[in-house]
Amino acid sequence: MSVFTWKTLLAGTAAVGAAFVTSGEVRAQTTQPQQFAQVTSVSQLSDVQPTDWWFSALQSLVERYGCIAGYPDGTYRGNRALTRGEFAAGLNACLDRINELIAAGLADKVSREDLATVQRLQEEFAAELAALSGRVDALEAKTAELEANPLGLNAATSKLSFEVVTGIFAASEPDGATNNAIIPYRLRINFDASFTGEDRFRIRLEAAEAPTFDGDPVGFVFGTGSGAPSDDLNDDVNLDDVFYEFPLFNGRVNATFALTDVTPGDTFVFGVPFDALSDFVDLPDITYDGMGDTTLAFTWEVIEDLFFLSYGYGTDEASDSTFGSGFFAGPSVHAAEVAFVPTDNLLLAVAGSASAGGQADDENGEDFAAVSFGVTWEITPAAIFSAWYARQFSEEGDDFDEFLAGFAFPDLFIEGSNGGFAVGSPDTFIGVDGGDFPFLAEIYYTFPVTDNISITPGVYYITSVDGDDEDIIVGGVRTTFSF
């Protein structure tokens, strides 16, 4: 390939560059995007004649290197001027072809004179070739992003996720018979977005139908995920969570504003490591759950990684304009938590809550106050102990307490699994007349089938809460799909 050949290419191969770069000049001359096809013979180009002064050079490029493209109408348009960028695109195509020949062991087809010419052209057009490479890299990155986010969401700032929880469950009957097996479910669609990279805005849609069995006072944990009793859920699609959480004061404070179905306790520090079937083997409801709807809350890291202080205010009637209702005048709850992390594997917490105006946690609509104490201790990475005790005080003296204690075993047998067992007592009344002491025991094992599917077989046993019902055993297999 002589220097004359490359000069010819520079003068007449507008289509070469246009095949790889859509310049402003090309857009001006075409009314729709052009598709260019590699030609294998110069005779395929209808406007190239043997009498053209560039004919032999073009023929050499086509037949020896196969790096010439034509327009969709079969023309070459050799008299059209081209930019340095377009020429760099054509040069890049020929460079790729030469590299392919060398890699295929056909280096003898490329003369030393051609290689020397290519080297000089590479040096002269280094800036244009680098720019072309950058555009290709950006295009590949954009393509990868579109493949990963087919809905067009910005992967760096937003995410759309789905979760479906279902399974098959049955419960014992007092007469020794068995309840009909049921297949409850919960479907969630989460949209999470971030504006700064450190905040989160979430919208969640949820549909669920997960009724409790007769005589079961606790129900399934995925049946009460929306904050409503599980037997009140139906298969309607509801706007579940809408909240925005964001850092303040250089990240020392994490604040939350929620419009719906987020309680102050959802934003606090203490947590349990269990993945059980029953709703009871979770945080204590009277201090962490069922405490409002629209919420303002914050968690302050008073001493880094050591001492945390949280506060939350919630109400169920923020959108009610009736006199005596609204965000501040209606039924409301105040909740607070102090969490202490003396070591990396130990978390201690004290939480309290108080309602005014008949907040719904008390079935009689009475004001109440509650306190709870919790501990989570990672004995080893494979064994975690967690326990809590909670007590509620009401105006009428219908006080009760609850407790829970158990062990969780992460990565038990299978990486990513979570096995565990727990015992406790829900709703133990301690009024002047005394009360029953209900007892609950549960064992479960969650293991991953794939990255998106997990299965949880489990069973829990609970004695009668009020003394009028028989003991009940609920068991089954839960399956969770997340994607």
Residue among 110, 196, 107, 214 at smallest CA distance from 472? 214
Q: How far apart are CA 435 and CA 400, in angstroms?
A: 9
- Going from N- to C-terminal start, the domains of the chain cover 3-148, 158-482
Spacing of C-alpha 317 from chain mean position: 30
Q: Is the pLDDT of residue 51 over 50?
A: yes
Q: Binning pLDDT at 50, 70 and 90, where does residue 17 land?
A: very low
pLDDT at site 274: 95
pLDDT at site 140: 67
Tens digit of each residue's pLDDT (9 = 90 or more) over 383-434 = 999 999 999 887 766 678 899 999 999 999 999 999 999 999 987 654 444 4
SS3 230: helix
pLDDT at site 257: 92
Q: How far apart are CA 472 and CA 404, in angstroms?
A: 18
Span 59-87, average pLDDT? 71
Tens digit of each residue's pLDDT (9 = 90 or more) over 269-289 = 999 999 999 999 999 988 887
% pLDDT > 70, the chain: 68
pLDDT at site 100: 76
pLDDT at site 230: 40
* CA-angle at 97, arms to 95 and 98, nearest 5°: 65
Q: Is the pLDDT of residue 14 over 80?
A: no
Residue 232 phi/psi, 5-degree rounding, is -95, -10
pLDDT at site 138: 65
Close Cβ partners of 251 (under 8 Å, ≥ 6 residues apart):
198, 301
pLDDT at site 133: 62
Q: Is the pLDDT of residue 321 over 80?
A: no
Tens digit of each residue's pLDDT (9 = 90 or more) over 170-214 = 998 755 555 678 999 999 999 999 988 889 999 999 998 888 887
Q: Which CATH number describes the domain made up of 158-482?
A: 2.40.160.10
Query: Crossing angle of helices 112-124/126-148, nearest 10°?
Result: 80
Q: Which of these ranges, 44-53, 243-252, 408-417, 435-444, has the smallest mean pLDDT?
A: 44-53
The residues facing 172 across adjacent strands are 178
Tokens 């007469």 belong to 175
Instruction: Give per-residue burial for 185-200: e unless 16+ CB within 10 Å, then b.
Output: bbbbbbeebeeeeeeb
Q: How far apart are CA 208 and CA 230, in angstroms?
A: 9
Q: Binning pLDDT at 50, 70 and 90, where does residue 26 land?
A: very low
Q: Is the pLDDT of residue 481 over 90?
A: yes
Q: Binning pLDDT at 50, 70 and 90, where does residue 41 land?
A: confident
Q: How far apart are CA 411 and CA 395, in angstroms?
A: 46
Count helices and strands (H / E) in the chain.
9, 18
Span 477-483, average pLDDT? 95
Length, in residues, of the chain: 483
CB 161 within 8 A of CB 483: yes
Q: How far apart are CA 425 and CA 441, in angstroms?
A: 9
pLDDT at site 467: 58
The residues facing 373 across adjacent strands are 350, 389
Q: Binning pLDDT at 50, 70 and 90, where does residue 142 land?
A: low
Report for 8-22, 110-124, 136-150: range of highest mean pLDDT: 110-124
The amino acid at residue 339 is A
Task: For the beta carbon of residue 300, count every other beta carbon within 10 angstroms.
Answer: 15
pLDDT at site 365: 53
Q: How far apart are CA 133 and CA 75, in angstroms?
A: 27
**DSSP string over 445-470:** EEEESSSSEEEEEEEEEE--SSSSSP
The H or E element containing residue 207 is: strand 200-209
